[in-house]
Amino acid sequence: MAYDFDLVVIGAGSGGTRASRLSAGFGARVAVVEESRLGGTCVNLGCIPKKLFVYAAHYGEDFADAAAYGWEVGPRRFDFARLRKHKDVEIARLNGVYAKLLDDAGVTRIDGRARLVDAHTVAVGERRLTAEHILVATGGWPSLPKTPGIEHALTSNEVFGLDRLPERVVVVGGGYIAVEFAGIFHGMGAHTTQLYRGELFLRGFDGDVRRALAAEMKKREIDLRFRADVARIEKTGAGLRLTLDDGSVLEADAVLYATGRTPNTRGLGLDAFGVATGAGGEILVDDYSRSSVPSVWAIGDVTDRINLTPVALHEGICFARTVFGGAPTKPDHRDIPTAVFSTPSIGTVGLTEEEARERHGDVLVFRSSFKPLRHTLTGRDEQTLVKLVVDRKSDRVLGAHMLGPEAGEIVQGLGVAVKCGATKAQLDSTIGIHPTSAEEFVTLRQPVA
């Protein structure tokens, strides 16, 4: 059968764009369908605007610390509207970059919402596109509980479009989005409360890092409340009233729910011809990202494997090589470094101490907590934490974790070492760069009890 395209990609986010460009580079005729702005969640409503907001939030502490280094900083005022304007300009620029990348690669761009009709047909409005292969890369979508009054809440989709900074903000959730926005709002000057129904936030991260971050956030007077949840939200003349499950009440100007994301598969038509999905709507795929229907593939958050932008990019590369490059390639999801842009930030790669003990049993833990050199003059009460988890038998470094300024930048390099199977002895033989926080990773000598 003659198809219109060799590949139709649904979703022009990070993974879909990368897969489209590389597939076209292998000679495939490719079309990509996007109903919103190019770049997906990361560019428009995630990584990029969030990191810009994180930068903005840090200036308050930087101004305060400057006096210790001889700088006189005069009156200052934070203009949220100006930040949003500049952010919007940068996002629009990136949208244009994505368009140019696709156009230069010879990919046909189609605006609209796509729906799968059958194993080789995609509908975009009244238009029908046929293809030998279909790749679904539609990402995820914020999920909300059925709390009474939830219609008054913001999600990460709306928070970047606020016209002004709320004076009182409640953040509900315990994942990385929640802790990041708690730090952002606080750093910008809002009175910030974070609620999490569990005992401690950031489930799945190393326990020492989780506890240390909670302590640092409390030092900054972020109102952290664990084992707490919202029973109902009411709109009042003065803002919002949140009644908690223990009967207590919080008054706020805005409430942000960061309580998880679900795969964005609703309305795609997957059920019509047997594409298997999981309990959360995720597309079930094999090791090569192929679904239960041989012509339909899926990558990124819509598969709910590891929901990170660099992982979606990696899966897009593997897909293109497998289907059009003549080199079947499985995505490698082991030892993926990642960062949480909390205040202070987290960088992590490999196994947590808890995971390492469960999988390997006999492990050595090396840990150091210290005041960064910068704050020996400022007097700010902030501790940096670095930690290595090592397999006693093989001496291999199983995990590296950090809480402190620029943790993501530092742990990226350690990600290479862990991926290459570095041993503790090799780290010990590496000369540190002095004076830096990063050197602590190669000067840890005594394991903790």
Q: What share of the chain is helix, strand, coil (3-state, %, to 5)?
A: 35, 25, 40
Task: Measure the CA–CA gap between 136 and 15, rounded to whole angstroms.
Answer: 10
Q: What is the phi/psi pair of residue 62, to 5°?
A: -60, -45
HSE (CB half, 13 Å, CA atoms) of 160?
A: 24
Task: Measure the CA–CA gap between 203 and 214, rounded to whole angstroms.
Answer: 13
Task: Measure the CA–CA gap between 294 and 276, rounded to whole angstroms.
Answer: 11
Residues forming beta bridges with residue 251, ordered by sequence position: 241
For 236, the 3-state DSSP assignment is: strand
**Residues 133, 186, 314, 434: which is the catalytic one?**
434
Note if 86 is an active site residue. Answer: no
Q: Are 9 and 16 in contact (CB under 8 A)?
A: yes
Cβ partners under 8 Å of residue 420, min gap 6? none
The two structure tokens encoding residue 211: 């506890």
Which letter, b or e, does each residue of 294-316 get, where b requires 16 or more Cβ atoms within 10 Å of its Cβ?
eebbbbbbbbbbbbbbebbbbbb
The count of residues in the chain is: 449
Distances (CA, A) of 396 to 360, 363, 390, 421, 423: 11, 10, 6, 6, 4
DSSP E strand boundaries for 311-430: 338-340, 346-350, 363-370, 384-391, 397-403
Q: What is the DSSP string of 71-118?
A: ---------HHHHHHHHHHHHHHHHHHHHHHHHHTTPEEEES-EEEEE
Q: Are 24 and 105 in contact (CB under 8 A)?
A: yes
Rounded to the nearest angstrom, the gap between the alpha carbon of residue 143 and the centroid of all alpha carbons in its chain is: 15
Q: What angle do CA 106, 108, 109 make, to 5 degrees?
A: 125
For 409, the 3-state DSSP assignment is: helix
Task: Measure the CA–CA gap between 129 and 147, rounded to whole angstroms.
Answer: 41
Pairing of strands 114-118, 121-124: antiparallel
For 170, the 3-state DSSP assignment is: strand
Positions annotated as catalytic residues are 434
